[in-house]
Amino acid sequence: MARDLLIGFGAGVFSGAFGVGGGIILVPLLVLLLHFTQKRAQATSLVAVFIAALAGTTTYALSGEVAWTAAGFILIGGLVGSIAGSSLVGRTSDHRLRIGFGLLLIAVATGLLWPTESFGVGQVPSISATVAAGYVLVGS
């Protein structure tokens, strides 16, 4: 039980600090330390992260850090992508999910090594059809 709470606390800290936790921290810990199947770890993580995300969102929203228009478009993509992804998971073996998940983490980590241009404080790109479509794709 203490180990479970520690895993949850660690995922929560990473989620609040870096905007990650469920997929990048919690799923591997559930699989490696608690011996969950990949599918069960992913499903359990989604529930835990949903509640933690509400808490983090509230904190960021109160400090004015949320780009609401972008978040709305990303949410649309995320909802559609979550339904499609969870449907696909039902037809995929745990072994293939673990391999795909590991490759995704490697790709994301590699991508973070290159610098990207960011907007200044309080600035977000003007919303055009192209920018909105990009947000939807990022969310999915």
What does the pLDDT look like over 76-128, one tens digit per residue? 888 888 888 888 888 899 899 889 888 988 998 898 898 877 655 556 667 77
Angle (nearest 5°) at CA 111 between 109 and 94: 50
Element housing 18 (H / E): helix 2-18
Tell me how far CA of residue 59 lies from CA of 6, 56, 63, 66, 106, in angstroms: 22, 5, 7, 10, 30
Longest dimension (CA), the chain: 49
* pLDDT given at position 61: 92
Higher per-residue confidence, 123 vs 25: 25
Report whether pLDDT(71) > 90. Answer: no
Report the alpha-carbon distance of residue 73 to residue 39 in Å, rounded.
Answer: 27
CA 39 to the chain's CA centroid: 16
Q: Is the dihedral of CA 11, 14, 15, 21 positive or negative?
A: negative
Report whether pLDDT(20) > 70. Answer: no
Q: What would the two tokens of residue 64 be? A: 């004015």
Q: Which of 20-29, 58-67, 75-84 is predicted with the least confidence, judged by mean pLDDT?
A: 20-29
Average pLDDT of 125-136?
Answer: 77
Q: What would the two tokens of residue 80 be? A: 């559609």
